[in-house]
Structures are given as C-alpha cells and as structure tokens.
C-alpha cells in the first residue's frame, strides 16, 4: 500500500476507502438537505445547519459548515433537486 498525504489531517493508506467514505458522507448530507427541505417546505442554508450537522454545529464550526451547506445547495440546484427562491437571505425549497 502507498501512503497518502492529505491536505489536512493524518496520512492514510486506504485511498480508495477514504474516497468512498467521503463520497458516502456527501451523499448522506445531500439527501439530508433535500429531506429537510421537503419536510419544512422552504429554509435558508443557515436554518438547515442544526438538522444536517447536529452536535458538530458549534460557534467555532458554524461558518465552515454554512459554506459547505451553500456548496451542497448549489450542487443540488444544478441537479434540479432543489430550487432557489431568492429573497434576503436566500431561501431554498425541494424541487
């Protein structure tokens, strides 16, 4: 096996497992966002944070998690799975 050096975090040897684990986590987050929007009808990205991240949401992580959530929403919008409603702040709904 080869050692993989990540951009942050510890080195690891199971590159395939690491990539698949990340893909699974992203798929889980995307599904959670769509599910939460279906349940709520509409929400801001900030509104979604507690349901998506749970106890990982803390003042120290909120900005980073909000940025990730906005990226997920943009991705889902490109797939036609969510729709941007606009407004200030921007609200989203399941498509």
Summarised one tens digit per residue, pLDDT across range 28-81 is 999 999 999 999 999 999 999 999 999 999 999 999 999 999 999 999 999 999
The number of folded domains in the chain is 1
Residue tagged 């606009």 (tokens): 86
Beta bridge partners of 93: 83
Is position 9 within any domain? no
**In the predicted structure, residue 1 carries a pLDDT above the cut 90:** no
Domain boundaries, position 49? 15-94
First CA to last CA distance, the chain: 44
Is position 2 within any domain? no
Q: What is the pTM of this model?
A: 0.89
Label residue 65 exposed, middle or buried (CB < 10 Å: 0-12, 13-18, 19+). Answer: buried
Tell me which residue of 28, 77, 79 sits closest to 92, measured CA to CA. Answer: 77
Evaluate whether 4 touches 12 at the Cβ level (below 8 Å): yes
């Amino acid at each position: 096996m080869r050692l993989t050096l990540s951009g942050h975090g510890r080195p690891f040897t199971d590159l395939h497992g690491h990539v698949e684990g990340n893909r699974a986590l992203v798929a889980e987050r995307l599904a959670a966002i769509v599910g939460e929007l279906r349940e709520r009808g509409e929400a801001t990205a900030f509104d979604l944070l507690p349901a998506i991240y749970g106890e990982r949401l803390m003042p120290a992580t909120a900005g980073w998690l909000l940025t990730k959530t906005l990226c997920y929403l943009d991705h889902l919008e490109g797939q036609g799975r969510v729709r941007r409603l606009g407004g200030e702040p921007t609200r989203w709904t399941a498509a």
